[in-house]
Chain A
């Protein structure tokens, strides 16, 4: 019952920006957009989250459209270590946190 849609896989050249899209057309007003990634079989790692405004941290930028129905995670300079499955999650603080199938990002040398 994931509420997001992501492409199953993407490739990105090393050193280039990786732009990962996420569709969340049924998002409600108090739900946040979160991004996590999972490298191989490690525990998922939090990347960034946002409610309405665009956000940036040391790992990535999150661009949320004005209608909040979609967002894009941007890794500004992808490295081989960014190869992972990226999960976009929509969640209000009171809801169970479910993961979809994510986008498998392959960074190519």
Chain B
């Protein structure tokens, strides 16, 4: 158990639907990161939050949105789902990741596997 909790573990839905993936970071971690990994593909960075504020953005589709709440948990919302959105979605957290230099080690959750039919 890494300390990063992702729910649900598995999700099957239909095209056009909307889903929400949830991430609880490790205790004390301020940053949350979201990554998408399609079948046999690399990890694509989507977005990062630090202490409630958006910190960095990757190639996140407009149909996707995320937020980090005051208790530091984060949700990734995926809407108007397409077949190509089927993937593993990983959340990671770190203590740092804010506007400072220094080491920043990420701890990953086990992922949420989304299947769009």
Q: Which residues of A contact B (CB under 8 A)?
A: 30, 32, 34, 36, 38, 41-46, 49, 51, 87, 91-102
Contacts and interface: CB of A to CB of B under 8 A. Distances in A.
Nearest to B100: A93
Contacts of B42: 99-102
Contacts of B102: 93
Interface size range on B against A: 20 to 34
B45 A43 contact: no
B5 to A, nearest CB: 11
Residue of B55, B88, B101, B111 most packed against chain A (CB within 10 A) = B101
- The prevalent SS among residues of B at the interface is loop
Contacts, number: 70
Contacts of B45: 96-99
Nearest to B46: A96
A91 B105 CA distance: 10
A36 to B, nearest CB: 8
B33 A97 contact: yes
Interface of B: 2, 4, 33, 35, 37, 42-43, 45, 48, 55-58, 88, 90, 92, 96-111, 113
Nearest to B90: A43
A41 B88 CA distance: 8
